[in-house]
Structure 1
Amino acid sequence: MRQLGELEAEIMDRLWAWGRSATAREVRDDLNRKRPIAYSTVKTVADILFTKGLLSREKYGRAWAYLPTCSRQQYTAARMQHALEGNPDPAGVLLSFVEQISADEVRALRAALRSAKRPGGS
């Protein structure tokens, strides 16, 4: 799974934060608080995210309302999995990652490993 472009990330961030579906107009209105952006641009990028499978959509009057198909955590986990799959030394990648994260993140990782449900009970 490839990294999101700048506008793709901004759209996904809003939809993840809102926790509800929203139209391209609503997203555009929120983005316009920081910088001007055209409705057609937001609509095009939302349609691209739909085509990529990151958003679902349903008709809301004459417009489409978009909703993420996965959580931010699921998206990030898929990116991490993709990075591991593409490397001949996944253990080395994981070691390098753990060496770079904070003590709080190490504690969170340990807690996640303890609570992870693995197939076969291991």
Structure 2
Amino acid sequence: MAIKGFGELEAVVMDLLWSRSGPATVRSVHDELVSQRQIAYTTVMSTMDNLFRKGWLLRDKIGLAYHYRPTMTREEHSAQLMRTVFESGGDGELILNFFLDRIGDEDSETVRKALQRFKKDKAR
């Protein structure tokens, strides 16, 4: 499933990079992907270069290879998507109600706790 704003392979690459604790080279990403699917090194290289040009990745040249890392965390990206939904128009309260109707009890509890923390922090 593609993450909003990314093509299918871009989403896979971003997910892989978000799962790592540090930067990755095209070679290391390709080595991981090739164990899951048949994919050319140049395809991975082009995809990572596209993500860099779109502003989703940063890169540093170390020796002969670029080392890539995301410009934001997975959570920051998710928050950005949520903000985009609210800014896209429509009734914000209705959008939130539809969202809350479709999430499970555990996620609902997470939202409730986050709102409580937000209110508490805002009161300070």
Same fold (TM over 0.5): yes
Superposed CA RMSD: 1.9
Q: CA offset at residue 116 of structure 1?
A: 2.5
1:105 and 2:124 equivalent?
no
Residues 1-122 of structure 1 aligned to structure 2 (within 5 Å): 2-116=4-118, 121=123
Q: Unaligned stretches of 5+ in structure 1?
A: none
The amino acid across from 1:11 in the alignment is V
TM-score by length of 2: 0.89
Distance 2:31 2:60 in 1: 20
3-state DSSP class of the match of 1:116?
helix
The amino acid across from 2:26 in the alignment is A
Distance 1:53 1:82 in 2: 17
Count residues with an aligned counterpart. Answer: 121
**Cα gap change, 1:23 to 1:118, in 2 (>3 Å):** farther
List structure 1 segments (4+ residues) > 3 angstroms apart after TM superposition. Answer: 117-122
**Cα gap change, 1:97 to 1:48, in 2 (>3 Å):** same
Q: CA offset at residue 15 of structure 1?
A: 0.8
TM-score by length of 1: 0.90
Q: CA offset at residue 117 of structure 1?
A: 7.1
3-state DSSP class of the match of 1:59?
strand
Relative CO higher for 1 or 2, CA cutoff 8 Å, sep ≥ 6? 1
Distance 1:105 1:92 in 2: 18
The amino acid across from 1:113 in the alignment is L
For residues 8-57 of structure 1, give each alpha carbon's deviation from its aligned partner in whole angstroms, at most 9, with x where no partner exists.
Answer: 11111111111210001110110000111111111111111112211111
Percentage of matched positions with identical amino acids: 38
